[in-house]
Each structure stands twice: as C-alpha cells, then as structure tokens.
C-alpha cells in the first residue's frame, strides 16, 4: 500500500473522470489518494462520492497552482483547503478565466506558424475542465501537425516554444498564503522542475510552505535521497505522487507508480489536523 498525492482529472487537463480516477487508484492499492487539478476543485465532489465505495482509500482534496519564478515556474500544491469557501472559488474561477485568454493566444500563435487548430475543437477537448496546454497539444496531434503530445510541447508549446503564451501568475509566496488563508497545507510540486529551487526554498518556508515532493513521478533514487535531505533540513513534509494525467497524455508515471510511502499521506493528514485544531 502506498500514497499518491498528485493526480489530475477531467476537471483540469487529465483524461479520466474523477470517479474513474478514484476507482483506478483503489484498484492500484493506493491508500492515501489526492486529486490536485490545476486551478480547480470541481472534480472533488464526484471523487468523494466514488471514494465511498472504497473503504480502504482515503481521499485527500487538493489543488495545483502555477506560479512564476525567475526563468521558470514553481507549482504549489494545496491540500485540504476549505473548498466550500465562495471567495476561494471566485479566485480559482478568475485563474481559469486567465487560462482561457492565454489558450486563445497560443491558438493564434499556432495559426501564424502555419499549424492551425480550431478553438472549437480545443474547447471541446477541454470540456468543463480548466483549459491547459495538454488540450492544445491533443488538438495539434489530431490535426496531424505532430505525431504525439510530447512532440507538440517540444516543437510548439513548451515554455520556450514558438507558440507559447504565458499569463500573469502569482508568486510562490502568494500561492502559499492563499492556500493557508483557506485552511490548506502548501507543498512544492516537482522541485527539480524549478530553476534555483534550493536558494528559493528558505523564503517559501518563511511564507508557510509545509511540504515538498520527494517521491515524485519517476524521479530516480539518488534525486529522491537528495530531496529528502533538503526536506528534512527545512522541516518540510516529504510528500509525492505520480502527477498522473491519464493514459496517453504523455510518457509518464502510472497511477501509484511514484512509490510514495504511506507515511506521506499520514503525515499530511496529521499536520492538517494539528494546524486546524
Ligand atoms: P499549463 O498548465 O497549461 O501551463 O500546462 C501545463 C501542463 O502541461 C503540465 O501539468 C503537464 O501536464 C503538461 N506538460 C508540461 N510540459 C510538458 C511536456 N514537455 N510534455 C508533455 N506535457 C507537458
Ligand atoms: Zn497538468
Ligand atoms: Fe505541475
Ligand atoms: Fe500536476
């Protein structure tokens, strides 16, 4: 048994509906399971209902927020927030709105590059979910412009790709205080993807960061060992998950494949119980 504290559903850019994700997590033997959609908690009600069928699984509500740092991004996970709070929901709705405008700009850039995709199709792929680059990548693939999602990123929409468009994002400190404001626990996602992360961590810990991903995706053991010592050094919970987005989204870690220990989920719940007592 293990934990998987980082996954995406159709409420953002994942392929599986929240209930399906929960059923598959239970089948994979995951005990502590979190859904962490980008800028949305809309999948959690359905997930909660599905989790009732699996007494061995504890669903932990989550979210993933993108923030800007120099020369890159830091993604901040928020766990166990008060998702009923209308002010929080209004804030998340505004983030999703920004995603819409930014998707339109990328579609315009792709047209100018001679690899057009239709807005209608991208919107259809995204459905009710927070729109993101994987939806555009899928449209590029369907239109025959690229053979795979990965290639769509590599050639066009990675952060330094020719069709990339950004949006104004929060700082990591702002994301951390947002999560704390609504009763959540903040953790840094996939630390290796953030440039200069080691020099930035102390400031984020100061701002209230409580955990970081150590057991992430297919991170190799030596990297995990390094991240574990970094987490210990800063008094951060050692968390982790697969960042699963569904079959075929990109070559990646399967559900539960991050081998995140049970203690990750336990320590997260224990910390939340302490801070909200
Ligand atoms: P967005 O939130 O719209 O900026 O899109 C970010 C999402 O795109 C991430 O959560 C990943 O799921 C996916 N992604 C980012 N970079 C790549 C890449 N190089 N290849 C495949 N998927 C990627
Ligand atoms: Zn994603
Ligand atoms: Fe991320
Ligand atoms: Fe993610």
At CA 83, angle to CA 242 and CA 272, rounded to 5?
A: 65
Q: Return d(Cα 204, Cα 173) in angstroms, integer.
A: 6
Helices 197-207 & 172-181 angle (0-180, nearest 10): 30
pLDDT in single tens digits along all 277 residues of the chain: 899 999 999 999 999 999 999 999 999 999 999 999 999 999 999 999 999 999 999 999 999 999 999 989 999 999 999 999 999 999 999 999 999 999 999 999 999 999 999 999 999 999 999 999 999 999 999 999 999 999 999 999 999 999 999 998 999 999 999 999 999 999 999 999 999 999 999 999 999 999 999 999 999 999 999 999 999 999 999 999 999 999 977 668 999 999 999 999 999 999 999 999 8
At 27, phi and psi to the nearest 5? -65, -30
Cα(133) to centroid(ligand 1), Å: 6
* Nearest ligand to the CA atom of 140: 1
- Cβ of 130 less than 6 Å from ligand 1: no
Distance (Å) from CA 115 to ligand 4 centroid: 27
């Amino acid at each position: 048994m293990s934990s998987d504290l980082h996954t995406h559903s159709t409420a953002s850019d994942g392929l599986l509906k929240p209930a399906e994700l929960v059923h598959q997590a239970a089948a994979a033997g995951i005990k502590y399971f979190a859904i962490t959609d980008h800028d949305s908690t809309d999948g959690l009600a359905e997930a909660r209902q599905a989790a009732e069928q699996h007494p061995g699984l504890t669903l932990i509500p989550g979210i993933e927020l993108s923030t800007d740092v120099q020369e890159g991004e830091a993604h901040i996970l928020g766990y166990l927030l008060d998702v009923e709070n209308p002010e929080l929901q209004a804030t998340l709705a505004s983030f999703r709105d920004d995603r819409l405008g930014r998707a339109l700009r990328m579609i315009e850039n792709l047209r100018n590059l001679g690899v057009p995709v239709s807005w209608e199709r991208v919107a259809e792929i995204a459905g009710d979910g927070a729109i993101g680059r994987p939806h555009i990548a899928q449209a590029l693939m369907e239109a025959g412009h690229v053979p795979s999602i990965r290639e769509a990123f590599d050639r066009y929409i990675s952060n330094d790709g020719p069709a990339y468009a950004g949006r104004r994002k929060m700082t990591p400190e702002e994301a951390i205080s947002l999560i704390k404001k609504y009763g959540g626990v903040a953790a840094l996602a996939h630390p290796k993807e953030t440039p200069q992360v080691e020099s930035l961590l102390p400031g984020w810990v100061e701002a209230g960061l409580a955990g970081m991903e150590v057991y992430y995706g297919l991170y190799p053991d030596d990297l995990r060992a390094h991240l574990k010592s970094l987490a210990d050094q800063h008094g951060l919970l050692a968390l982790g998950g697969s960042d699963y987005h569904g079959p075929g989204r990109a070559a990646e870690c399967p559900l539960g494949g991050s081998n995140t220990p049970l203690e990750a989920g336990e320590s997260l719940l224990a910390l939340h119980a302490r801070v909200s007592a």
